[in-house]
Structures are given as C-alpha cells and as structure tokens.
Amino acid sequence: MKKPPLILDAHLDISMNAMEFNRDQRCSLEEIRRSELLVSDGLPHRARNTVCFPELRRGRIGIIVATQIARFSQKFHKLPGWRSPEQAWAHTQGQLAYYRAMEALGEMRQIRTKAELKEHATLWKNASDSDASHLPIGYLLSLEGADSILSWKHLEQSRQDGLIALGPVHYGPGIYGHGTDDSGPLTQKGRELLREMEQLGLILDVTHLCDESFADALELFHGPIWASHHNCRSLSNWNRQLTDAQIRQLIERGAVIGMAFDAIMMVHGWHHLQSRPADFNLRIEKICEHIDHICQIAGNAQHVGIGTDLDGGFGTEQTPMDLNSIADITQLEGLLESRGYSAADIEGILSGNFLTFLNKHLP
C-alpha cells in the first residue's frame, strides 16, 4: 500500500500560538477548542484553531519551518507590538525556550544541517501511520520580522541557536524596512542587515516586504532567497501578494514560494473581519489556481511549495470551508493529480522543492 507523502510546511507560528494564545500544541484540536470556549479576549480565532502536533502528525507534516516573531511598535502606533526592541528580543527568546522545552519532551526536533534534514525526512518517509503518530516534528527555525535583532552579535547568537531564515519586516514600518500595507525602501540598517545575513549564510525570506523594500532586497542580497508564505497578486488583489514580475525575479534566483491557506490571501475582494469563506464558496482547490499560475510562469513545478501560515492570527473563520485541520491539506495530492500534475511534481510541491532548496543551502 502506498504511503502518504511527506509534507513540509515552510511557515507555522507554533511558538506564537503557545506563548501568546496559550495553546498547548500537544493537545488535540478538540481539547484546545474546548479550552477556549469561555476565553473572552475578543480574538475571532478563539476555538477555531487548525494546528496542533497530533494533526501535524496525522497529515504527515513531519517537517516545518517554525517561527519566532515579535515586532517593535512605537508609542501610539496603530499596529500592535512591543514598546522597545529589547522587549521584542526577550519575547523571541521565550519562544525559543518553548521550542527547547518541546525538544526535551520528544515532541519536536531541530534541524540545522543537510545531514539532519536528510535523516529526518527519511525517517518520516519510511514511517507507518502508527509510527508517524509518535514521531517528533522536525523544525527549522526562522524569524518573521527582524525588529528584535538588537545588534549583529544578537544576529550571530540567533544563528548559533539554529536560525536558518529571516524576514526583515512584518506589517507596516519596521526598523529594517517597510512591510505589508506600507511603502518605502529598506532603511540603512536594513541594508546592513542583508550584508550580515549573507555573511552568516542565512536565507532571506522576502515574505511581507513591500514592493520598494522587495526591490532593494533582491538587488542587495546575493545569498539564498525564498518566500515562505506568499500567494499571487493576480488572484488576490492585495499588496501582501507577489506580482507576476516579482514571481519571475524569484524564479530567476532559484527561490521556492510557499502557498498560504489564509482566505484573505487566496481570493479577490476579501474584507478583513467581514467576509466569510462561504461568501466565496472557498475551498482548498482554490490554492491550486495559485500553484498553476506560478508553474505557468516558471514553465515547471519546481518553484512552488507549501507554507500554510495556518493559525497565524486567524482560524477556520478565515480558511477554506473544507479545511478544519491542517491535516486536510493532504487533499492537495488528489487535487493536483486531477489537474494533470505528475507524481514527481506533486511530491515536489508537497515537500521536495523545499527539501532540494534546503539541501543546497543548509550547512
């Protein structure tokens, strides 16, 4: 009997969910949802989470890129964030401590090198469903938004802690550049950051860079580049998404683009906190249109992967109607097969393209 494919998810905010939303990722979806029924913090995604360790294992999502995230937001700024970069740094260290705690319990296993990646991928590919239900989730560490990097010594420390990828900005203005729903070039510190990243062998994640900062980054940075969770602007008219020209630039640089399953990133005309998936009859198959679009531009299926961003500050109120759990993305195998994708292309999209990229660029 054919084993389910290994899936690599290039963007999950595991520690944010644990440390900010108080979710024990070892619990089942039902347990987490029940625990939040009486939580009254006003967050619309309460009791609507889609990610936990049991569901990752059920979906054979054995390797993830797990984030640290903490932005700096100056006093009176409309975006939430810490009032000082020092607080942001401390918060990311708390998130790292969470991953270390999960490693100690055997729930997660950090991947830093090509050899570790190969070993862990082989373990998952050969595992039976019974074995997979107990295997550790392999994770590669990334930083989403660099506001917490206080100095290049702090960046070096993060590299020593296993950081493999970094996105300079998140939403709005940041210390190093400008992000989603903002405009402007990289700052001088942002330009210096790219030089330091290149010297340390870090992957540049262009996700969330506004168009001007994106252009600066691709001109200045000569190391490996990916877009961990980024869809197509031609199919979702928001500056958060990639234009066709940007997709071509990334393809030319050998990048892989991770498909995100946030409804606002999948369709035209979504209104935040107002729209519902049913308004668009939104289903998982919609992401295949984004995959098709990138593959048509590239002329092959080698530059697309999965970067769900699930539970990234939203839940099932903002996912396809047929996505109740992250394990439901396994439907992609059949959906892509029905569209004529070969077995090799499907394996590449589900994990192989990011694995090939990492095998090329990890130590």
Mean pLDDT of 247-275: 98
Claim: this prediction has a pTM higher than 0.95: yes
From CA 346, how far away is CA 222, in angstroms rounded?
29
Backbone angles phi, psi at 124, to 5 degrees: -75, -40
Confidence of residue 180 (pLDDT cuts 50, 70, 90): very high
Give dist(CA 53, CA 4) in Å, integer: 17
**Is 172:182 a contact under the CB 8 Å cutoff?**
yes
Average pLDDT over residues 250-260: 98
Mean pLDDT of the chain: 97
Q: Which CATH architecture best describes the domain 10-361?
A: Alpha-Beta Barrel (3.20)
Element (H, E) at 209: none
Tokens coding 261:
């399953």
Q: Which long-range contacts link 114-117 to residues 24+ away (Cβ below 8 Å)? A: 114/358, 114/359, 114/362, 114/363, 117/63, 117/355, 117/358, 117/359, 117/362
Q: Nearest 5°: CA angle at 4, between 352 and 115?
A: 40
- Residue 82, exposed/middle/buried by CB under 10 A (0-12, 13-18, 19+)? middle
What whole-number percentage of the chain has pLDDT above 90?
A: 97
Alpha carbon of 253 to those of 16, 65, 225, 231: distances in Å? 30, 20, 7, 17
Q: What is the mean pLDDT of residues 308-323?
A: 98
Q: What are the structural domain ranges in the chain? A: 10-361
| Cβ atoms of residues 209 and 183 within 8 Å | no
The H or E element containing residue 81 is: none
Pairing relation of β-strands 63-68 and 257-259?
Answer: unpaired
End-to-end, the C-alpha distance of the chain in Å comes to 35
Question: What is the structure's pLDDT at 137?
Answer: 98
